Chains A and B, each alone.
Chain A
Amino acid sequence: MSKKELLAMLLAGGQGSRLYDLTKDVAKPAVSFGAKYRIIDFPLSNCANSGITAVGVLTQYRPYLLHSYLGTGSAWNMEDGVAILPPYATQTGGAWYAGTADAVTQNLGYIEMNDPDYVIILSGDALCRMDYADMLETHKKNNAELTIAVMPVPWEDASRFGLLVADETGRITEFQEKPPVPKSNLASMGIYIFNKQLLCDELRLDDANPDSTHDFGGDIIPKLLADGRRLYTYKFEGFWRDVGTIASFHETSMELLGDEPSFDLFAKDFPIMSNTESYPPAYYGPDANVTDCIVGNGSKIYGEATHSVVSIDSVIGKGAIVRDSVLLPGAIVKDGAKVINAIVGEGSTIEQGVEFGSADSGKDYTFCGNNVVIGKEE
């Protein structure tokens, strides 16, 4: 195993419970997004575009689809590979990952085997385009021991986030977790670059501390601050979305649309890679009426699709209408059915003539999980 400057540890064990049925049978990082991608494509592509050659992916919840999707990591040009790191047993027993920090602690052996100078901790369930190499440059320039990526959020929303208060040089002076009265509007993005030795030492200390919840935000960062370590912010002003809820998943999907979308998948400088499908190009039927959509290969559209995400291998039948909606891969909207303001899960079917979702903007988004059939009486 050759020495690396920067090793990535991608936390991908999260259930994403607020996505309800969308994560009933898959981990949140494996949820389909943007017609042909899965959420984990975004951090993995960032790694590839930042020159990172090895990524450890920490998995725990419903891992099969995620594991098979990742394969060896060659789809993301990971020359040293993607290592899948699930919880494992040792001579003294084994345990589930108890928190974000614990997941990394249990895989210190993987970090030491790769012997990097720095370790970047990433969240496998956020969507952003970010150059981690630039963040590392900032880290080195500040002679920092830990750098935390932050993004400015509107002051009125700030108390929903973990906030970092920094001085004019970017050095962090205080960490506030969801404070009622925010002193800063810089929210932590859950992306950390650690000096490797500090990370290993601190995780071992944390592991031995019976009072710790083994969480980076809750335990590790406050302790390092209290110890007077050099913690710096890295300010990110680009596109970042958590898609942790049905509403944010739907709204972020809609941000991919329009003639000049706020989330532009076609940006040339930062390609999003994926473990690509092998479907033929999408077919548009003789009476198709498709406007303002992104459409994945393998789909067949005979009816209307307006302002929607039509994922790979999905079908919109004759006379069917799909508006302001997201069809996940393999979704079928049968002849004459209507899907409005909704999310249809992977491989799910909306039966002929059924109306799924509502044009009433006051209502919540309608959604269904994977591989279900929505008939007339539901």
Chain B
Amino acid sequence: MAKTIGLITANYSTKFPSALTDSRPVASVPFLGRYRAVDFALSNMVNCGIRTLGMVMPYNYRSLIDHVGSGREWNLTRKGGGLFILPGSAFGTSRTGSRFLLRDLGHNKAFLERDNADLVVCSTANWIYSIDYNEVFAAHEASGADITVLTQPARDKDIDVAGFEVVDGRVKGVKHGVVFGDTAFLDSFVIGREKLLELLDWYNANDYLDLFEALAGDYDRVNVQAYEFEGYAAPIFNKDTYFKANMDMLDPKITHELFSVRPVMTKAHDNQPARIGTTANVTNSRISGSCIIRGTVVNSVLGRNVVVEEGATISNAIVMQGCKVESGAVIENAIVDRNNRVPAGTELRGTPEAIFIQGKGQE
């Protein structure tokens, strides 16, 4: 593999804030109980051999730094290379939806200049997929492209996902939002390190733009090739896609592809094994470590340390770590953020079309 470094722009600012992203960036939204969104981008890069990795931080970085720390779980605590925490720019709300804001890349040129790598892999932390980047590197080299972007035919209409106009494999334009069958951008690309520095110089005056917006007039002279990723990929830009992606994890075929082919590394906790009590009834669900289940859990994903008392019922729901669901409580079609106590007799109920969201509880 050519010498490659990674750059994760973890400062995506969502266009559709919800209680889930009030207190944290999308990058550190909990996913499938024990993970956070950023684990997938980080693990993909580390799994292909990248050991020098920059991460552009959002302004509300507390939970993200808490999670990635020094990068130990991803083997990034090293004498040479390792994890570089990079500052993101403060840009208010006008640039919400940007993935690779030129200003964020430009402000961190030193990270790119100080390394002698041939290639840079860039990614946001907004997608769930497991990819072997070595295949992308091979395609990048074979096509002689300046930039190779990861794409996939869109599975659904999604106004948060970016799309490309592609002719014979070559990108001709970019657009916001996709409908079924469009070429969706998986928010990751491979580029020569020197080419990236050159583009940053070109667009220096327009650094309020996203890289792919800035390229809009130049898709003829910059060769951007699409690489179609055939595996499972799910965006988690808003509460609906977030809910759907979690529910996808109840399909063992998808989780096999995501977790068993290559590992997804995450911050380790000393959790006990889950305790499933004598009165429990758990079906089609994912239950994390340190949970104590005595009630009924159906079609749901539970984070760490969730207690479900006898007589409580959870169905079609995501219940995050530290929640206590008391006897007689009902949670249905809902996302319950961490540390909520759901008292006896309470019903947190949404519908499949309108998922109910309960924000974080008190620590």
Contact = CB atoms under 8 A, between A and B. Distances in A.
A and B interact physically: yes
Interface of A: 34-36, 75, 258-259, 265-266, 271-274, 276, 278-288, 290-297, 300, 309-312
Given A272-B272, A281-B286, A288-B282, 12 more contacts: A36-B272, A258-B278, A266-B292, A280-B258, A282-B286, A284-B284, A284-B286, A286-B284, A294-B272, A295-B274, A296-B273, A297-B34
Interface string B274-314: 11111110111111111010100100011000000000000
User: Is chain A's binding surface mostly helix, strand, loop or mixed?
Assistant: loop
From A271, A284, A296, name the one whose CB has the most chain B CB atoms within 10 angstroms: A284
Contact of A276 (B258, B270, B276, B278): B270
Contacts of B273: 34-36, 265, 294-297, 309-312
Interface in B243-279: 249-250, 252, 255, 258-259, 263-266, 268-279
User: Is chain B's binding surface mostly helix, strand, loop or mixed?
Assistant: loop
Contacts of A278: 263-266, 268
Contacts of A296: 273-274, 289
Contacts of A272: 270, 272
Nearest to B303: A281
Contacts of B252: 283, 300
A280 B302 CA distance: 11
Nearest to B282: A284
Contacts of B276: 290-295
Nearest to A74: B72
A293 B278 CA distance: 8
From A34, A272, A279, A311, name the one whose CB has the most chain B CB atoms within 10 angstroms: A279
Contacts of B271: 276
Contacts of A75: 268
B119 interface: no
B33 interface: yes
A249 B280 CA distance: 26
B41 interface: no
B32 interface: yes
Nearest to A37: B273
24 contacts: A34-B273, A36-B273, A36-B289, A278-B264, A280-B34, A280-B255, A281-B32, A281-B33, A281-B286, A282-B286, A283-B252, A283-B255, A284-B283, A284-B286, A284-B287, A288-B282, A290-B282, A293-B276, A295-B274, A295-B276, A295-B287, A296-B289, A297-B288, A300-B252
Contact of B270 (A271, A281, A294): A271
Q: Which 10 A-B pairs have the closest CB atoms?
A: A35-B273, A281-B288, A276-B268, A281-B33, A294-B273, A281-B286, A284-B282, A265-B272, A286-B284, A292-B278
Given A259-B277, A284-B285, A295-B287, A274 B270 contact: yes
Contacts of A274: 270
Interface residues of B, number: 41
A300 B270 CA distance: 21
B287 A291 contact: no
From A75, A283, A285, A296, name the one whose CB has the most chain B CB atoms within 10 angstroms: A283
A297 B289 contact: yes
Nearest to B294: A259
A35 B291 CA distance: 14
A291 to B, nearest CB: 5
Contacts of B265: 278
Contacts of A309: 273
Nearest to A302: B252
Contacts of B287: 281-282, 284, 295
B77 to A, nearest CB: 10
Nearest to B293: A290
Nearest to A301: B282
Given A265-B272, A284-B284, A284-B287, A291 B278 contact: yes
Contacts of A310: 273
Interface string B334-345: 000000000000
Contact of B259 (A34, A36, A280, A286): A280
Contacts of B268: 75, 276, 278
A36 B290 CA distance: 12
A216 B276 CA distance: 42
Given A278-B266, A281-B33, A281-B286, A290 B275 contact: no
A7 B216 CA distance: 65
Contacts of B294: 259
Nearest to A271: B270
B278 A259 contact: yes
A275 to B, nearest CB: 8
Nearest to B35: A280
A308 B285 CA distance: 19
A287 B283 contact: yes
B261 to A, nearest CB: 13
Contacts of A283: 250, 252, 255, 285-286
Contacts of B282: 284, 288, 290
A280 B283 contact: no
Contacts of A290: 276, 280, 282
B278 to A, nearest CB: 5
Contact of B249 (A280, A285, A295): A280
A170 to B, nearest CB: 34
